[in-house]
Amino acid sequence: MITTIKGQKSTLTQMVEEDLKMMHTWACDPLITQYYHKCLSEEVKSLKKIICSHDKNIKAYTINTEDHVTIGKLTIEIADDNTANIDMLIGQKIYIGKGYGKDALRVAVKHCFEDLNLDSVKMVIKQGNVRAEYCCWACGMREDKYYIPEEENSDTFRMIIYKKDYTGY
């Protein structure tokens, strides 16, 4: 079982319960949560369940710098149709816009296609989150025209990349 995935700028490390304390501080910051499509405090509860249950279809990671500073979180949820749903957040404001999110997403997509042999990777984004949209575009993802948002997430859209379109990074 892979517990660490190394990128060029960032490292994805399997999340442990101590990491949730930092998520709580991010949940209290309106500048962090304004563009995130989920209620972050509810997400922290969900992450705790994921960490405790050891579900093989959901993997939770912290995004870390080369200096081992935790700056965000990334989850990969593997669906029954052999696809992955990625959810990502950079929570440390000073690291936003510096390429760490793009590097973390690239290494997660690479892991999904090359290690897990999945067919596609999807990511839901809140309308108006230009940084997240650019990050997805830079990683080869395109808008999923077949996505119909649920009622509580009506202000979201989904980006997707298929294995056949993935050329490797």
3-state secondary structure 78-130: ECCCCEEEEEEEECCHHHCCCCHHHHHHHHHHHHHHHHCCCCEEEEEEECCCH
Q: Per DSSP, what are the bridge partners of residue 123? A: 86, 159
CATH code for position 83:
3.40.630.30
Name which residue leads in pLDDT, 11 or 42.
11
Q: What is the pLDDT of residues 129-157, one digit of tens each?
A: 999 999 999 999 999 999 988 877 788 99
Q: What is the pLDDT of residues 43-102, one digit of tens each?
A: 878 888 887 777 789 999 999 999 999 999 999 999 999 999 999 999 999 999 999 999
| Number of structural domains the chain divides into | 1
**What pLDDT score does 44 carry?**
78
- This prediction's pTM: 0.90
Provide the residue range defining the domain that includes 35: 4-165
Q: 49-85: string of b/e by CB count within 10 Å (b at 16+)?
A: ebbeeeeeebbbbbbbbeeeebbbbbbbbbeeeebbb
The mean pLDDT of the chain is 91
Label the pairing between strands 4-6 and 156-162: unpaired
Q: How large is the average pLDDT for residues 24-42?
A: 82
Number of residues in the chain: 169
